[in-house]
Amino acid sequence: MKPRIFGIESEYGLVFSPTVLLSLPIEKVIGYIFEGLIPKNWPSSTFLQNGARLYQDTGCHPEYATPECSTIVDLIVHDKAGERLLEACLPAAEKRLREEGLSGDISVFKNNTDFLGNTYGCHENFLMNRHVNFWNVTEQLIPFFVTRQIFAGAGKVMKVNGHPHFFISQRAQHIHEKTSSSTTSSRSIINTRDEPHADAEKYRRLHIIVGDSNMSEFTTYLKIGTAAVVLSMIEDGFQVRELQLDDPVRAIREISRDPTLKQRVKLENGQELSAIEIQRTYLECAQNYIDAGREDEVSKDVLWNWARVLDRLDADPMSLTRELDWVSKRHLMCSYVDGKRCGWDDPRIAMIDLQYHNIRHSKGVYYLLERNNRMDRMVDDQAIRDAMSIPPQSTRAKVRGDFIRFAQAKNRPYTVDWTYLKLNGYWEETILCMDPFEATNMRVSELLEQLPAST
């Protein structure tokens, strides 16, 4: 697998449940949550000491963008650190509300839809070579991303003609185009906005907005790992032929609607294939690519797990309850419907659907499964705790995190973006950081020498 920078942006659903009847602007709740992460008088959209960015996105959603990561394991750790950072702020935010006479519970959900039909995203970012033909890459990738939901979906019960139906993916029904520069008005499989956050002559950012937010660490590993291998393969000229879909938007919705995975979709050449068959074609090409001298331990492990999961999805999807979010959730719901002899439109099913994504360990259904050793782990809790304050050590996120630590310790006002660091006011200074692989900066190192050893 080629050296690459990865990132995930997660928009979180937010609910305040008051103990008395009242109306409270959700912006006020977000403000109290942010107080636990962002020092007073600093911007509400800001970067943290771990190199990540936290801000309020369109629709009053807290959004957490991981720092730049150079390994998939680092990405999983920092994605989970975002959950823990938000969770850690909730008790203080609820206390602040109580002080104003607004007693209640704040719930934060790492999902992609609410029960009013609104959607919010999980965006994946892959740094790629600027000199590779971007449009050729997107055409090669679209069938992959359309069908990847069979192992990357988060699952959702939605109504069809007034009747509840289980869908594999939460985002699939909200996708309208193959490609688009917009992330809201015309949601697409691949976003074409050219915003590399790096040296634009060398790099481009592949921005994927079609995926679901995942609670399962294994699902995130497979989702990102397979995409990275396929992207590297296409960048190196290994073409995936004869898989272009006749109607990708229709196909992604049809696949999502069939948890049996038997649905076949039409290709431009008139052939009809299932999502599993399309994924196996990509897997075969990826195996040939790896066998041609590009083998490494991470790629080998990704391909082994990819093949194993596709085989089990083909034989019995419900055998993957420990690994895949949509399978785990559907198994819980089926067991509940059978045990309680209720219908799929029972409000308790809707509650399972929502609470699976609650990031509070004490309330989230996913974390209940994890505590009972019913979900496979990829990282340990200590690594996640460390990532709440420590950036990845192999990317420019380390430079950013070190700079923020210095500025806050010295009480210096600052401005930070992905590509620059700026000390404001007296002796104003701007430090450019255009290379996301560069984990050191001489000027930032000089600044850190001014801090006491214990800082």
In order of 76, 103, 108, 359, 368, the CA distances from 364 in angstroms are 19, 21, 10, 6, 6
Backbone phi, psi, residue 166, to 5°: -90, 125
The CA-atom distances, in angstroms, between 50 and each of 87, 388, 424, 430 are 16, 6, 21, 20
To the query of whether residue 57 is one of the catalytic residues in this protein, the response is yes
Write down the catalytic residue from 57, 212, 325, 402: 57
Q: Rounded to 5 degrees, what are φ and ψ at 197?
A: 55, 40
Q: DSSP secondary-structure letter at 241?
A: -
Residues sharing a CB contact under 8 Å with residue 80, sequence separation 6 or more, in sequence order: 217, 379, 384, 387
Which two structure tokens, joined as six digits, stand for 121? 């995203």
CA distance 3 to 18: 48
Q: CB neighbours (10 Å) of residue 36?
A: 15
CA gap 76, 395 in Å, rounded: 15
Angle 134-147/217-235 helices, nearest 10 degrees?
A: 150
Structure tokens at 271: 């052939």
Task: Kindly state the greatest CA–CA separation across the chain.
Answer: 70
- Concatenating the DSSP letter of every residue in 137-197 gives HHHHHHHHHHHTHHHH---EEEEETTEEEEES-SSGGG--EEEES-SSTT-EEEE-----S
In whole angstroms, give the CA distance from residue 61 to residue 45: 12
Scored b (16 or more CB within 10 A) or e, 192-230 reads: eeeebbbeeeebbbbbbbbbbbbbbbbbbbbbbbbbbbb
32: amino acid identity, one letter: Y
For residue 113, give the DSSP letter: B
Report d(CA 229, CA 285) in Å as an integer.
10
Q: Phi, psi (5° rounding) for residue 295?
A: -75, 135
The torsion defined by the Cα of 224, 229, 233 and 236, in degrees rounded to 10, comes to: 90
Q: Which of 391, 435, 452 is nearest to 52 (CA)?
A: 391
Which residues participate in catalysis according to the annotation?
57
